[in-house]
Copies of this chain bind each other. A is one copy, B any other.
Amino acid sequence: MQAIDILKQLKEKGVRFTPQRQAILEYLLGTDTHPTAEDIYNHVKAKFPGVSLGTIYNTLNMLKEHGHILELSYGDMSSRFDGNPENHYHVVCTDCGKVVDYHRPLLTMEDEVSEKTGFKVMGHRIEFYGVCPECQEALLH
């Protein structure tokens, strides 16, 4: 789905359509780099020099709450945002922090976990940790 369509859909719910929001969402949908809020800020600043980080966070939180993007939080580092809201897995470089998608059939273990723990399980997340090809290369020198 395009940024404009998502924002039109949100307008039905009383969320205003602003050019900043359009720029933020377009960038997120058009990249597979899982940018941080700061990455997005730097990119959007090219078109809207006056934009503030507060607006970036505000927009990202709004989009997340409506289920249009995912936030990937990694403890110490800043969160990364994913324009694909469908559950899928990620491979994270422990060296440079890069995150790449890993698509495969989802684990069907949630019911089993619910039964065994009594939790009402609503979702799950898998991350693989390793060193990306570029960092492996860099480590050789």
**In the bound complex, do residue A119 and residue B125 qualify as a contact, i.e. CB atoms below 8 Å apart?**
no
**In the bound complex, do residue A136 and residue B124 qualify as a contact, i.e. CB atoms below 8 Å apart?**
no
**In the bound complex, do residue B121 and residue A130 qualify as a contact, i.e. CB atoms below 8 Å apart?**
yes
A105 to B74, CA, bound (A): 24
A94 to B121, CA, bound (A): 10
**In the bound complex, do residue A91 and residue B121 qualify as a contact, i.e. CB atoms below 8 Å apart?**
yes
A133 to B117, CA, bound (A): 8
Does A114 make an interface contact (CB < 8 A)? yes
**In the bound complex, do residue A117 and residue B131 qualify as a contact, i.e. CB atoms below 8 Å apart?**
no
* Chain A interface residues toward B at CB < 8 A: 71, 73-76, 79, 91, 93-94, 100, 102, 104, 107, 109-110, 113-114, 116-133, 136
